[in-house]
């Protein structure tokens, strides 16, 4: 299977690297002279093209700025519907509706990369049935290349997706944010669920260090899922009965378990999944319809922030 990468900034370059390693890179569509020069220096010169019209591939990766996704997606869907679309997939409900109503999107994969993190898979398997609350933390410095969306739409989509994956769809949200020139650079959302569960999603560009963690609370204990280190720490409490000949209350002891798992690059696993979709071996794990659901929750969160109150989703 041969794939074309459209847009080769930081994320697109990583897609191209992995596809080349897998002997599946057909072409790179990039128009920026600066980026084309850098790609030549990295050894990608023979793959460079100036437009999608110059390419014919089994599938396409769209990794351009989010504001350009709809037009590029419409053009690419005229060639094939095997597309890996980086997040945020589209900017608003209007764009989703236009694409979903006018094209066959059944083979589109959306780049919610954390679903391919081994630590997420293990946490889902072991803890999702007993969750009462989740807290998500995703902090980093502000990226210079992102100018079309704020931190909530850029980073928050990952954790809203994981929240749905672990807990289902929330029914209400209350938010606050830190703004800089009308762009949110720190965003905090508290979600309520119909069964009494709750979740907090915290994303920020105000940190000098990266943090990607999920804290899961349940009746049996709490788990810390470190998405960067791909490690899970589980802390549980055990009640121990006191001896019959004394009158002290039962004591509580704590035990800690570390889950070690084979590390893997989530993006590589995502691309391998996409190649299997192109071959007809699998269905997309994250569909455009699911991305639309995530976008609707992102949009409701912004509405909550603007209104300054909790609202229903």
Phi/psi class of residue 208: alpha, beta or left (left: φ > 0; alpha: ψ in -120 to 50)?
A: alpha
Do 129 and 236 sit in the same domain of this protein? yes
Return the CATH number at 279: 3.40.50.720
- Please report which helix (H) or strand (E) contains residue 230, including its range: none
Task: Count how many domains the chain has.
Answer: 2
Banded model confidence at residue 241, pLDDT cuts 50, 70, 90: very low
Query: Minimal CA–CA distance to 162: which of 132, 124, 106, 109?
Result: 124
Return the CATH number at 120: 3.30.360.10
Which positions ≥6 away from 224 have C-beta within 8 Å? 213, 214, 215, 216, 232, 233, 235
pTM attached to this predicted model: 0.90
Query: Minimal CA–CA distance to 291: which of 140, 17, 68, 69?
Result: 69
What pLDDT shows up at residue 240?
Answer: 47
CB 280, CB 131: distance < 8 Å: no
Do 27 and 80 sit in the same domain of this protein? yes
CB 98, CB 70: distance < 8 Å: yes
Do 64 and 152 sit in the same domain of this protein? no
CB 114, CB 203: distance < 8 Å: no
Do 7 and 77 sit in the same domain of this protein? yes
Do 204 and 165 sit in the same domain of this protein? yes
User: Higher-confidence residue: 240 or 202?
Assistant: 202
Do 158 and 307 sit in the same domain of this protein? yes
pLDDT in tens, 105-142: 999 999 999 999 999 999 999 888 889 999 999 999 99
Do 162 and 241 sit in the same domain of this protein? yes
CB 255, CB 125: distance < 8 Å: no
Do 281 and 304 sit in the same domain of this protein? no
Do 207 and 257 sit in the same domain of this protein? yes
Six-digit token string for 107 = 């083979």
Six-digit token string for 58 = 């089994």
For the cut 60, the answer to whether the pLDDT of residue 253 exceeds it is no
Query: Minimal CA–CA distance to 218: which of 198, 190, 232, 243?
Result: 198
> By three-state DSSP, how is residue 198 classified?
strand
Cα separation, 153 vs 185, in Å, equals 10
Do 214 and 303 sit in the same domain of this protein? yes
Do 35 and 132 sit in the same domain of this protein? no
pLDDT in tens, 170-224: 999 999 999 999 999 999 999 999 999 999 999 999 999 999 999 999 978 899 9
> By three-state DSSP, how is residue 108 classified?
strand
CB 58, CB 83: distance < 8 Å: no
Q: Which domain holds residue 42?
A: 3-112+268-286
Do 138 and 83 sit in the same domain of this protein? no
């Amino acid at each position: 299977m041969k794939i074309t990468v459209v847009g080769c900034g930081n994320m697109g370059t990583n897609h191209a690297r992995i596809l080349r390693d897998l002997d599946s890179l057909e072409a790179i569509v990039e128009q920026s002279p600066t980026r084309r020069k850098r790609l030549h220096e990295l050894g990608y010169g023979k793959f460079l093209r100036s437009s999608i019209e110059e390419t014919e591939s089994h599938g396409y990766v769209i990794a351009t700025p989010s504001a350009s996704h709809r037009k590029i997606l419409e053009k690419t869907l005229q060639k094939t519907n095997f597309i890996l679309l980086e997040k945020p997939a589209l900017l608003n409900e209007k764009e989703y509706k236009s694409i979903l109503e006018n094209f066959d999107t059944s083979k589109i994969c959306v780049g919610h990369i954390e679903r391919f993190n081994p630590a997420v898979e293990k946490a889902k398997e072991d803890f999702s049935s007993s969750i009462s609350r989740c807290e998500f933390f995703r902090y980093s410095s502000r990226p210079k290349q992102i100018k079309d969306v704020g931190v909530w739409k850029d980073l928050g989509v990952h954790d809203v997706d994981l929240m749905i994956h672990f807990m289902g769809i929330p029914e209400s949200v209350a938010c606050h944010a830190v703004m800089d020139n009308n762009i949110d650079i720190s965003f905090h959302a508290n979600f309520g669920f119909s069964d009494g569960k709750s979740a907090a999603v915290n994303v920020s560009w105000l940190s000098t260090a990266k943090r990607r963690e999920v804290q899961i609370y349940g009746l049996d204990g709490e788990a810390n899922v470190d998405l960067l280190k791909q490690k899970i720490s589980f802390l549980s409490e055990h009640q121990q009965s006191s001896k019959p000949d004394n009158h002290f209350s039962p004591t509580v002891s704590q035990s800690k378990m570390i889950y070690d798992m084979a590390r893997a690059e989530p993006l590589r696993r995502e691309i391998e999944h996409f190649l299997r979709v192109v071959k007809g071996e699998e269905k997309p794990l994250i569909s455009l319809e699911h991305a639309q659901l995530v976008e609707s929750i992102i949009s409701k969160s912004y509405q909550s922030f603007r209104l300054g109150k909790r609202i229903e989703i």
